[in-house]
Amino acid sequence: MAILETKNLTKAFGALAAVNDVSLSIAAGGLHSVIGPNGAGKTTLFNLLTGQFAPSAGRIVFDGRDITGTPASRVAHLGLARSFQRTNVFPAFSLLDNVWIAAFARGKSWRGLAWRPSDRYPETGAQARAALADVGLAEKADQAARAISHGEQRQLELAIALAGAPRVLLLDEPAAGLSPEETRKMVALVRALKGRYTIVLIEHKMDVIMSVSDRISVMHFGSLIAEGTPAEIQRDPEVRRAYLGGLAAT
């Protein structure tokens, strides 16, 4: 059953259709990857799904509900969380505060919003610590986000998305800029999250994609050119043409 669907989704920036007539269906519980050369429109697709941009045309349906044009802050409350390709954390905050703020946003109630001391929300605190523990940053909870390494910031990026207890997790190149060693850790992490959340993954590293994905969609110049299992995608001639500039197909 599809938990997240797009129907003829289009986003045009002037004459350029960054996302062009994309109809995508994400099955609940699986890991669905979106691949494509740079500039294919993958991140724009995420920006549309999470309400950062409003689409020019088409619809987005999340869990049977039309969320087209819903602003980002509302989308988060529906249970759609994302991580960013460029690290996008709260630099002066401690790691714990970084995830706390995401956990509180999705908390059951905002009672005492402007009055109750923020350390007196035991549930939110526990949820925040659990998210940090999930990505292996529990011991660094009190350090400032700007003081940790790039690899750790990528983990934190993921933890912020997890802290909101999402139903669907959109991961935009979680391994961007990581060393081989850090990449291995990140892949293990994504693998561990698989099954707990429905995951949509954008990634460039093919070995990662092929080993973790249930299904793969391929984008090229804003359009969807192929969809299938990893094995099917590897055989697809159109995909080869997109990646290898036509050489492989001739």
Partner 1 sequence: MKHLIVFVLVAVALLLFAVCPVIATEIWIFAIFGLGLNLLLGYTGLLSFGQSTFFGSAAYVAGWLLKHYAINAFFALAIGVAVGAVSAALVGYLCVQRSGLYFIMLTFALNQLFYFIAYQWTSVTGGEDGMPGIPRPALLGIDFTDPLNYYVFIALLFLASLWVMKRIVESPLGKILQAIRENEVRAEAVGYSVPRFKLLAFVIGGAFSGLAGVLYAMLFGIVPLEAIGFVFSGNVVFATLIGGSGSLYGPIIGSIVFIWLSESVSVIWARWPLLLGVAFVIVVLFFRGGVVEAWSRFWSWQSSRPRT
**Residues in contact with partner 1 by the rule CB under 8 A:** 50, 52, 71-74, 76-77, 81-82, 84, 88-93, 97, 100-102, 104-106, 110, 112-118, 121, 160, 163-164
Q: How far is the CB of 154 from partner 1 (least distance, A)?
A: 14
Strand 168-172 with 80-83, pairing: parallel
Nearer to partner 1, 167 or 241 (CB): 167
Nearer to partner 1, 89 or 186 (CB): 89
Q: How far is the CB of 115 from partner 1 (least distance, A)?
A: 5
Nearer to partner 1, 22 or 162 (CB): 162
DSSP alpha helices (H): ranges in the chain?
Answer: 42-49, 72-78, 95-105, 122-134, 150-163, 180-193, 206-212, 230-235, 237-244
Q: How far is the CB of 163 from partner 1 (least distance, A)?
A: 8
Show the tokens assigned to 170.
């959109």
Nearer to partner 1, 37 or 107 (CB): 107
Element (H, E) at 13: strand 2-13
User: Which has the closest alpha carbon to 78: 50, 115, 120, 111?
Assistant: 50
User: Which has the closest alpha carbon to 151: 128, 181, 131?
Assistant: 181
Q: How far is the CB of 50 from partner 1 (least distance, A)?
A: 7
